[in-house]
Amino acid sequence: MELALPPLERQPRGSSVKRCVIIANKGAGSFSTKLLDAACRRLGASGREVEVIACGDFSEITATAAQRGKSEDGPLIIAAGGDGTINAVFSGLAGCQASCAILPLGTANVLAIELGMKSAEAAVERIIAGNLRPLTAGAISNQQKNSRFFLMAGMGFDGRVVRGVTPELKHRLGKGAYILSALRSLASWESGEMEVTVNGTGFSCHSLVVCNAAYYGGQLKLAPGASLFAPSFELIAVTDCSRRGVAALTAAALSGGESRAIRRLTAGEIRIEGFKPVQLDGDNWGDAPVTIVAEPGYLNLIS
């Protein structure tokens, strides 16, 4: 059975994607076998050939995506799980120019919200419609490692909050774990600065969020000008090193307004100097200094 999708200029392997390969993370926060089975039935009823691969950890997810993405017949790769699972699947597809989709079965499902998918059922209908668009990724590196993000990278307060969320805490409190960690980070305030260089210009700030998506955490429209399909990022820098800076950032996200404590700009390459914790797509990553570069057309995503 053949999965008929509209031809895409960037798609390298012929005129259509022949089957769906669902890479599922059954350890994802709100994973539902019932929803996964329903998605498979709906895709099958629409004429798609469906293969499900259940993975147990992120390294296995990444390796499986790399293997399937490089296959000659070019299946549609579907990441089933939360934002961490999606990151692992998409990261494994570097250099493949693969055709991909998501099946949101996680706790926050921020990417699904960014794409306007309110449920797993809605995501399946998008897959059947087959509208592919070239997705931009963010490549981040320091002296120890390099990775990719697809929603955002946060340095400073943002990274510190995510670092304070342990798997146990997240399992017990869900999204509340991030609120608790934020309160703890505010109580034990760190006021150091970092140096940021973009477009040949340098400036200092306390915290920085590099946005590839408009929404933060799925609820706050932090970066209205950002888009998963734009060739560059929207940056929000907190220039006030006191707690007032974080308050200003929160207020701007809630109201869509501006503040003298934050600075907005657009860039496709960013260099950050200074020792600060870093989070990628809601997961602890490591520490700055780092370099971040936009990668337009990283893969083709059903949106």
Domains located in the chain, CATH noted: 20-130 (3.40.50.10330), 139-298 (2.60.200.40)
Cβ 116 vs Cβ 242: under 8 Å:
no
Determine whether 203 is exposed, middle or buried from the number of CB atoms within 10 Å of its CB (0-12, 13-18, 19+). Answer: middle
Is the predicted pLDDT of residue 15 greater than 90, yes or no? no
Write the CA distances from 113 to 106, 203, 214, 235, 250, integer angstroms: 12, 32, 10, 20, 19
Rounded Cα distance between 51 and 34, Å, is 16
Three-state DSSP state, 125: helix
Is the predicted pLDDT of residue 10 greater than 50, yes or no? no
Predicted TM-score (pTM) of the model is 0.86
Rounded Cα distance between 135 and 301, Å, is 6
Is the predicted pLDDT of residue 229 greater than 50, yes or no? yes
Give kind and range of the element (H or E) at residue 59: helix 58-69
Identify the pLDDT of residue 197. 97
Identify the pLDDT of residue 16. 46
pLDDT band at 303 (very low <50, low <70, confident <90, very high): very high
In 3D space, the residue among 274, 279, 275, 280 whose CA is nearest the CA of residue 204 turns out to be 274
